[in-house]
């Protein structure tokens, strides 16, 4: 089964200063990524620029509505994601608990739809 692991980290401030923990522990992220690669479960993934760099587009009754910033204004924001292939949800949750963001943000695990 493939799962997406979404890393939610404390949102960066509008002035570009990063929130504590979000980029301070690059070694922890490198170690986590290495462990996934070495264990042979990683199928993809990316880190994202902070949410303040996002632009959100909506169409409402055909009218364009474009905003600066992420689609939802919240304390945590999507900081990156991994795609992993493991036997079941329990195994995916093991990897989610190891994600550095689990300790200071939140980690969401979603099954990838089989088309």
Applying CB under 8 A, the residues found at the interface with another protein are: 27-28, 30-36, 38-41, 89-90, 93-95, 97-98, 100, 102-103
Provide the minimum distance between the beta carbon of 103 and another protein in the complex, in angstroms, as a whole number: 5
Beta-carbon count within 10 A of 80 CB: 18
Q: Residue 113 in contact with residue 1, Cβ under 8 Å?
A: no
Smallest distance from another protein to CB 100, Å: 8
Residues with Cβ within 8 Å of residue 66, at least 6 apart in sequence = 55, 56, 57, 58
Residue 77: CB minimum distance to another protein, A: 21
Choose between 36 and 70: whose C-beta lies nearer to another protein: 36
């Amino acid at each position: 089964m493939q799962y997406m692991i979404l890393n939610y980290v404390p949102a960066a401030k509008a002035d570009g200063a990063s929130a504590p923990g979000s980029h301070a522990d690059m070694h922890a992220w490198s170690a986590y990524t290495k462990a996934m690669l070495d264990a042979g479960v990683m199928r993809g993934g990316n880190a994202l620029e902070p949410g303040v760099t996002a632009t959100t587009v909506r169409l409402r009754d055909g009218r364009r509505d474009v905003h600066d910033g992420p689609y939802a204004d919240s304390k945590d924001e999507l900081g990156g994601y991994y795609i992993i292939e493991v036997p079941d949800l329990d195994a995916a949750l093991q990897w989610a608990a190891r994600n550095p963001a689990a300790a200071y943000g939140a980690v969401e695990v979603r099954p990838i739809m089989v088309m």
